Amino acid sequence: MKEGQGRKRKRARHNKPQKPQESLQPKHSIKHKKETHQQKSHAHRSSASSKPPKSSSSNSSSFLDKMRARLAGGHFRMINEKLYTCTGKEALDYFQEDPELFDMYHTGYQEQMSHWPELPVNVIIKWLKDHSSSLIVADFGCGDARLAKNVKNKVFSFDLVSNDPSVIVCDMSNIPLDPSSVDVAVFCLSLMGTNYASYLQEAYRVLKPSGWLLIAEVKSRFDPNNGGADPNKFSKAVCEMGFTSALKDFSNKMFVLLYFKKKEKQSSKGKEIEWPELKPCIYKRR
Ligand code: SAH
């Protein structure tokens, strides 16, 4: 840890709202995570034994609930930032080493999503229901596989960890599907790794000609006025890979929708594509 970081972290935890540069540093080792677990149970124990004075039992249990929620929120934000600042391969190793972190991540993720007026995955579910159920779908970074559970289509769901046997565990830069085998590739809030372009390359590989690429991303990541990427540059890079842009929808307050169609014929290969950097999405403390 660099000098001064410890102090910065403490401040960041107490300041509201949390600015991205004040958030936790990306290079958390697995060891550090385990320490954090211990800290969690230690904090748990010490708050239980040193009962808050002058409070009724219901007050103390709500105090403990608040502390637990705060710790869980902190863990979620730490894992979230890790996923945005490492490669998919590193993320796979990270979760395989300690699958409990994945459950922590998803508990926090669901908590954050419960504050969104509309979920992007539901918009994509609706899109699929409005199209033929014979379309074969690949859901890249499926989370709890909500997409597969809510449509009639054949859906291949991919994620780094899963308790659900229908989910194929892998790093999505390398999925076990044949070239030109799916009609729709979905990335719903899942372009997380620093090597995100390789996920899109993989989608290009498995999509049939004229297949759909559906991307939903957190709005701030495509807000150039706030350090986000220029959506036109991103879209240009995707098109250079061999897609045409079909829809750009910025109407939702929380997320953007970018839909593309794979070209019938492969574009000239070998051209270096300039991918804009996508900044991490830092979720608010709640
Ligand atoms: N698409 C789901 C979940 C979004 S959370 C939904 O909209 O509800 C993002 C998911 O992407 C997480 O579950 C995370 O584990 C997954 N993910 C991130 N990088 C990945 C990678 N390299 N390979 C596979 N899954 C990845």
Which sequence spans correspond to the domains of the chain? Answer: 64-113, 118-262
CA–CA distances in Å: residue 237 to residues 78, 148, 183, 203, 229: 30, 29, 21, 14, 12
Q: Are the beta carbons of 8 and 18 closer than 8 angstroms?
A: no
**Residue with token string 């080493």:** 97
Distance 62 CA to ligand 1 centre (A): 32
Distance 142 CA to ligand 1 centre (A): 5
**pLDDT by 10s per residue, the chain, length 286:** 333 333 333 333 333 333 333 232 333 333 333 333 333 333 333 333 344 444 556 677 788 888 877 777 788 999 999 999 999 999 999 999 999 999 999 999 998 999 999 999 999 999 999 999 999 999 999 999 999 999 999 999 999 999 899 999 999 999 999 999 999 999 999 999 999 999 999 999 999 999 999 999 999 999 999 889 999 999 999 999 999 999 999 999 999 999 999 999 876 666 789 999 998 887 766 6
Distance 249 CA to ligand 1 centre (A): 21
Q: Are the beta carbons of 161 and 169 closer than 8 angstroms?
A: yes
CA nearest ligand 1 atom 17, residue? 141
Give the number of C-alpha atoms closer than 13 A to the C-alpha of residue 11, restricted to the C-beta side.
9
CA nearest ligand 1 atom 24, residue? 159
What φ, ψ does residue 222 adopt, rounded to 5°?
-120, 35
According to the CATH classification, is domain 64-113 in 1.10.10.2150? yes
Cα–Cα distance, 136 to 86 (Å, whole number): 30
User: In sequence order, what E strands does 30-142 have?
Assistant: 137-140
pTM: 0.79
| 162, 192, 198, 215, best to mutate for ligand 1 pocket (most atoms within 8 Å of CB) | 192
* Angle ∠(163,208,138) on CA atoms, nearest 5: 15
* pLDDT score of 75: 86
Provide the 10 A C-beta neighbour count for residue 20. Answer: 14
* pLDDT score of 64: 81
Return the DSSP state at 225: G
CA nearest ligand 1 atom 9, residue? 190
Chosen CATH of 118-262 out of 1.10.10.10, 3.30.360.10, 3.40.50.150, 1.10.3720.10: 3.40.50.150
Which residues does a 6 A CB cutoff place in the pocket of ligand 1? 83, 88, 91, 109, 121, 141-143, 146, 158-160, 171-172, 188-190, 192-193
Cα–Cα distance, 252 to 82 (Å, whole number): 26
